Amino acid sequence: MRYLTEINAFERLMDRHPLPGTAQLLWYKLMREANRQRWPEAIALDNDTAMGLVGVTVHAFRKARTALSDAGLLEFSQGVKGQPSTYRLIPPSLVELQESQGDAAGLPYEEGAEYMEDVEAPERYFGWTEAAGRELAKITRDLFAAYWPGRSPDDRDRQRVFFYIKDQRQDEDGEWTMSFPEERKALLAYAFEAASRAGAVNWNYIAGVYRNLGARGIKTVEQAHEYDEKRSSQYR
């Protein structure tokens, strides 16, 4: 990892999609520690040492660590008795590259999907109807009202929501139908909620949550909550 290159990439990410200050500070401290240890694959730190890097409460430290993890910038593994936890920094330059490619690899239902800037408008997809348009508009409004208050969604936001929740099916007669399955809507709401809890509601953070869901093989919101509960129990 090139120190200055990754710092510049991190700052560019923060300009576009800022994380809370404590999360940013933790990233810098972990980078400094990785440099001090001559860039190991993962940094081994006990809880007291890790918390001492940023000098905050346990709750604030965990929130910062989760924010970095959800943004796709950190992989964390809880240690066991007698063994420290490990922290693996994901190069911000890699996160930038994934962002520029639309984070396709992180989408649990759209493997290999095209870059979202190039994706066609929802109206041009087979199976699209006016009713689907009204439903998509309502889903988007409800998400923003609940988790992104103060911002009115635009066409680009609706297109992103569509990209995450759409489902197209063709019957034996060749007819296409478009729907927005409840499970996909629930997973998107989960990602919005995670971003809201971290104080970083932006599309990059939401895509990071999806990237982590895909990496963990999580396909339902129930599985996501089960994973969260398991992770929380490790920290108690």
Say what the pLDDT of residue 1 is: 61
146 and 181 share one domain: yes
In the 8-state DSSP scheme, what is residue 188?
H
**Does one domain contain both 128 and 40?**
no
Q: What is the pLDDT of residues 31-87, one digit of tens each?
A: 999 988 888 888 999 888 999 999 999 999 999 998 898 888 988 888 877 789 899
| Torsion, Cα of 64, 65, 71, 76 (10° steps) | 180
Last residue of a domain, one of 93, 119, 140: 93
Write down the pLDDT at residue 109: 34
142 and 56, same domain (yes or no): no
**Per-residue pLDDT band at 4 (split at 50, 70, 90):** confident
Q: Are residues 124 and 198 in the same domain?
A: yes
- Alpha-carbon gap, residue 32 to 24, rounded angstroms: 13
pLDDT tens digits along 181-219: 999 999 999 999 988 887 778 887 788 888 778 777 888
